[in-house]
Amino acid sequence: MKRVAIIGAGCSGLAAIKCCLDEGIEPVCFERENDIGGLWNYCDNPKIGKGSVYRSCVINTSKEMMAFSDFPPPAEFPTFMPHKYVLKYFRLYAENFGLLKYIKFKTSVSEVVPSDDYQATGRWRVTSSCEDGDPETQTFDGVLICTGHHTYPYLPKFQGLENFTGKSMHSHSYRDNRELDGKRVLVVGKFFIVLRRAHGGKNSYTFVENLV
Ligand SMILES: Cc1cc2nc3c(=O)[nH]c(=O)nc-3n(C[C@H](O)[C@H](O)[C@H](O)COP(=O)(O)OP(=O)(O)OC[C@H]3O[C@@H](n4cnc5c(N)ncnc54)[C@H](O)[C@@H]3O)c2cc1C
Residue 138 contacts residue 7 (beta carbons within 8 Å): no
Q: Which residue puts its alpha carbon closest to atom 1 of ligand 1?
A: 53
Phi-psi category of 164—alpha, beta or left, where left has phi over 0 and alpha has psi -120 to 50? Answer: beta
When mean pLDDT is compared across 64-68, 80-84, 112-116, 185-189, the lowest value belongs to 185-189
Ligand 1 atom nearest the C-alpha of 12 is 25
Q: Return d(Cα 21, Cα 12) in angstroms, integer.
A: 14
* pLDDT tens readout for residues 71-91: 999 999 999 999 999 999 999
Q: Which residue puts its alpha carbon closest to atom 41 of ligand 1?
A: 109
Q: What share of the chain is helix, strand, coil (3-state, %, to 5)?
A: 25, 25, 50
Confidence at residue 144, expressed as pLDDT on a 0 to 100 scale: 98
Q: Does ligand 1 lie within 6 Å of residue 66's CB atom?
A: yes
The pTM of the full predicted model, rounded to 2 decimals, is 0.90
Strand, helix or coil for residue 11 = helix
Confidence at residue 177, expressed as pLDDT on a 0 to 100 scale: 79
Q: Return d(Cα 30, Cα 109) in angstroms, integer.
A: 7
C-alpha angle 104-107-108 in degrees, rounded to nearest 5: 135
Q: Which residue puts its alpha carbon closest to atom 7 of ligand 1?
A: 59
* pLDDT tens readout for residues 144-183: 999 998 888 888 888 999 999 998 888 888 888 787 888 8
Domains of the chain, CATH where assigned: 3-145 (3.50.50.60), 161-208 (no CATH)
Give the contacts of 90 (CB within 8 A, at least 6 positions apart).
Answer: 11, 14, 36, 37, 40
Strand, helix or coil for residue 24 = coil
Give the contacts of 46 (CB within 8 A, at least 6 positions apart).
Answer: 52, 172, 173, 175
Q: Does ligand 1 lie within 6 Å of residue 46's CB atom?
A: no
Q: Does ligand 1 lie within 6 Å of residue 139's CB atom?
A: no
When mean pLDDT is compared across 26-30, 86-90, 201-205, the lowest value belongs to 201-205
Q: Does ligand 1 lie within 6 Å of residue 33's CB atom?
A: yes
